[in-house]
Amino acid sequence: MRGISYQVRRRLKKGRNWLVNGGLEYIRFSILLLKAGDEFKEDLGKEELGIVLLSGEVEVNVGGGIYRLGPRREVFSESAYGLYLPGRMKWRVRAVKESELALAYAPSKGEGEKKLILPDELIIQERGKEHYQRRVVDIMVSQVKASHLLIGETFSYAGQWSSYPPHRHDRHNPPEEYRLEEIYFYKLKPDKGFGLQRVYNDARSFDRAYVIENNDLVVFKEGYHPVVSAPGYELYYLWVLAGPERVMKVIDDKAHSWLHNF
């Protein structure tokens, strides 16, 4: 067993790169790299899919419709495009330009409808204050009626903390807290930079820090999970959550909750 959290670091290559394909109850995740003109297709079966364009431009053919995502130069300079597919569908993508796509899967209840999310439909919030300021972007939260998936992006400014004050969402205790698995997929600007990701629980039976580099991924089954970028480097992470109920309610670490009133 890898514990309540683990890091994935793989060299990404052309085609599909599985980063999470087993070990979690709800989430599977891969990165798809396509050259201009390349195509990829699959049958979703009983899974829903959230597609986020990280860079490039693509056309997706599904259910008799064609959906264009992009263009997007890269995550730090231009806004995201997303496409939600509710399951039991066959889809095909063709790259108009060299492209990078994030593909997040979860079990489908057979509900919802496919939905293209354009940049003007994103919900953007500035959160935090001095030393932990960041920009949070909802891509597939209120925008879609998914079975389980919740997807968005966070941009941490250089030298700043994020997911802070530390919070968790690993217990089913409604209405205060709902259990959600989560993954972070990271990018840095400049891309040779680094950050630090801490994951710990109340008992400190698990307390680990990861050095985060470009294209790393960290899984959170449980625990608090604050992250910080090194000075001089912007830190981005795509976040994907899924659990028994599609409700995002978290609990702060009481030791640090005083910061909300600071």
**Cα torsion for 131, 132, 135, 137, to the nearest 10°?**
170
**Residue span of the structural domain in which 209 resides:** 5-261
Distance separating the N- and C-terminal Cα atoms of the chain? 39
Q: Rounded distance, CA 243 to CA 221, Å?
A: 10
**The pTM of the whole model exceeds 0.85:** yes
SS3 204: coil
Give the CA count within 13 Å in the CB-facing half-sphere of 100: 15
Q: Over the stretch 56-115, which tens digit does the pLDDT of each residue have?
A: 999 999 988 999 999 999 999 999 999 999 999 999 999 999 999 999 999 999 888 999
Is residue 104 within 8 A of residue 52, CB to CB? The reply is yes
Give residue 70's Cα distance to chain centre. Answer: 18
Q: Which of 221, 184, 169 is nearest to 24 (CA)?
A: 221
Q: What is the pLDDT of residues 29-59, one digit of tens each?
A: 999 999 999 999 999 999 999 999 999 999 9
Per-residue pLDDT tens for 148-164?
Answer: 999 999 999 999 999 99
How large a percentage of the chain has pLDDT more than 70? Answer: 100
In this structure, are residues 56 and 102 in contact, taking their beta carbons and an 8 Å threshold?
Answer: no
135 to 85, 100, 114, 154, 160: CA distances (angstroms):
26, 22, 27, 6, 11
| pLDDT number for residue 225 | 99
Q: Count CB-CB contacts under 10 A for residue 110.
A: 11
CA atoms of 9 and 217, how far apart (whole Å): 7
What is the number of structural domains in the chain?
1
CA–CA separation, 165 vs 128, rounded Å?
Answer: 9
CATH of the domain at 163: 2.60.120.10
CA distance 143 to 80: 13
User: In whole angstroms, what is the distance from residue 83 CA to residue 103 CA?
Assistant: 10
- Rounded CA gap, 128 and 219, in Å? 23
Cα(44)–Cα(236) distance, rounded to whole angstroms? Answer: 28
What digits encode the pLDDT tens for the residues 3-21?
A: 899 999 999 999 999 999 9
Spatial distance between the Cα atoms of 168 and 137, rounded to a whole number of angstroms: 19
Give me the sign of the Cα torsion angle 86, 23, 20, 217.
positive
Residue 88, token pair as written in the block: 């039991």
Are 123 and 135 contacting, i.e. CB atoms less than 8 angstroms apart?
no
